[in-house]
Structure 1
Amino acid sequence: MIPTAYPDRATMARLTARMLLDIKAVHFNTETLYTHASGKQAPTYIDCRKIISYPRVRATCMDFLCCTVMEAAGLEAFDNIAGGETAGIPFAAFVAERMGLPMSYVRKQPKGYGRTAQIEGEMREGDRVLLVEDLTTDGGSKLKFVEAIRGAGATCAHTAVVFYYGVMPGTEERLAEHGLRLHYLATWADVIAEARRGGDFTEGTLAEVERFLQDPDSWRVARGLS
């Protein structure tokens, strides 16, 4: 069911950050670093996929995401909800159910057999598609999924995520240049602020994480990392 009442954006950001912290989706470690998909190491890691295993957190985050998108784009702005392979698929399903819309998903690469499809489910030519994923860093993967959606004859002007890093300069501007508007619930700044309020990590850890997020490349160089 589509939610009709919701808090203001600042409250949604704070509550989303609190839920991510409560389910241990947020990981900070300034000594034993995490290796990201890019191959680079960092003292931060967030696993938004944990949300799917917590029904109350899942329901609240998906309500917030639907409300955020509908407030910005309108209640009748979409014909199809698409998830990006693989983390975006369950979130797209939850959003599609709430909005009462068809759901599809986009592969990273065309399937190498059968119909060699890149889009699964039914997406019609001219459909106005909302791309849903768990998170975004610099928006690069979103543009690849959107390219596939547009290549199928549909349109895609909006993408929605639970978590946006919010530290990569020019991300939203770069997406806008490709006709894509980003909607999100919380950023690293929101998570750090809530972690500081709740005492989830030591002040030393939070301060070091903030130094990293302000300039990841310089932070790595100072530690002798590539």
Structure 2
Amino acid sequence: MPAPSPRKSTIAVESAKMLIESKAILFTDGKPFIFTSGLASPVYTDMRKVIAYPRIRTRLVDFAIETIETEIGYEALDIIAGGETAGIPFAAWISDRMHLPMQYIRKKPKGFGRNARIEGEITEGAHALLVEDLATDGGSKVSFCNALREAGQRCEHTFVFFFYDIFPEARTMMAEIGVGMHYLVTWRDILAVARGSQYFEKSVLDEVEAFLDHPLAWSAAHGGVAELAAKA
């Protein structure tokens, strides 16, 4: 596999700035966010906000293409596959820029008609890149990659714009199924940029760092779960 881009740190910093500016990154004003998993957090990532900022999303896609081509290869992919639902617009932008066909993957078969889980043309043996907006613990990525493989395609890489990178099992799960994780920015990058700005109180960022260091302990102490449920 090609080595990571030497520009990766620059891309991370610039991506962090854009996500903060577009308010895709939200910091609590005291009351923690509670995720669907039950995890309590002082921060929340809403990558869907990016679709409302054409200049920012264009630049993020520039960075995505550079990262994909450098870390995966220029002619290594045949299809771009977006995960339902948040990954679909991001996959569409990337497929358009890379001049590759696109699919999208349902979380489960729709239950009628063809009962399809993958929408779009399926090509036996094609190399598919799974694209999503973000990754937390990696569970949904495993499900989507398995769906692509069960359809007869290959899936050896996934790309996300934002990677939490605070749950070790995310990298472990990806490695176990032989899938490389590629991304633009992590929470540590966001925190570093936020500390260098004048927009956030130090006490808020200290609380964020405490969460990043021990997310499950922080969650349990603030009304959330103390462990994440295993995903099928």
| TM-score, length of structure 2 as denominator length | 0.92
The AA in structure 2 aligned to 1:211 is A
SS of alignment partner, residue 160 of structure 1: strand
Matches within 5 A, 1:71-86: 71-86=70-85
Q: What does 1:12-91 align with in structure 2 at a 5 Å threshold?
A: 12-29=11-28, 31-91=30-90
Query: Match for residue 3 of structure 1?
Result: none
Match of 2:154 in 1: 155
When structure 1 is superposed on structure 2, of 32-41 and 61-70 the one drifting more is: 32-41
Q: What TM-score, normalized by structure 1, do the two folds share?
A: 0.94
- Preserved CA contact (<8 Å) 2:82 2:104: yes
Contact 2:38–2:224 at 8 Å: present in 1 too? no
**Are the equivalent residues in 2 in contact too, given 1:80–1:123 (CA < 8 A)?**
no
* Deviations, residues 33-83 of structure 1 (Å, cap 9, x unaligned): 111121222111010111111111111101101110110111000110000
Cα distance in 2, alignment partners of residues 184 and 56 from structure 1: 19
Instruction: After superposing the two structures, state which structure 1 stretch, 79-88 or 166-175, moved more.
Output: 166-175
The CA deviation string for residues 172-208 of structure 1, in whole angstroms up to 9 with x for no partner, is 2320110100000000000011111112211000001
- Offset, 1:212: 1.2
C-alpha RMSD of the superposition = 1.4
Aligned length: 221
Task: Give the secondary structure class of the aligned counterpart of 1:198.
Answer: coil
Which whole-Å CA distance do the structure 1 matches of 2:102 and 2:140 have between them? 19
One-letter code aligned to 1:61: L
- Alignment partners' CA distance in 1, 2:13 and 2:224: 33
Which 5+ residue runs of structure 1 have no aligned equivalent?
1-5
Distance 1:16 1:114, change over 3 A: same
Following superposition, the deviation at residue 138 of structure 1 comes to 1.1
CA distance in 2, matches of 1:25, 1:152: 34
Which runs of structure 2 are paired with 1:191-202 in the superposition (5 Å)?
A: 191-202=190-201
The answer for the alignment partner of 2:122 in structure 1 is 123
Rounded to whole Å, the distance in 2 between the matches of 1:224 and 1:109 is 31
Task: Rate the CA distance shift 1:225–1:113 in 2: closer, same or farther, 3 A.
Answer: closer
Is 2:107 aligned against 1:112?
A: no
One-letter amino acid matched to 2:118 = I
What is the match of residue 101 of structure 1?
100
Contact residue 165 and residue 187 of structure 2 kept, 8 A? yes
| Alpha-carbon distance in 2 for matches of 1:154, 1:29 | 42
AA paired with 1:197?
G
Question: In structure 2, what residue type is equivalent to 1:116?
Answer: N
Distance in 2, matches of 1:52 and 1:9, equals 23
Of 169-178 and 180-189, deviating more is 169-178
SS in structure 1 of the partner of residue 196 of structure 2: helix
Counterpart residue number, 1:204: 203
Residues 30 and 209 in structure 1, CA contact (< 8 A), matched pair in contact too = no
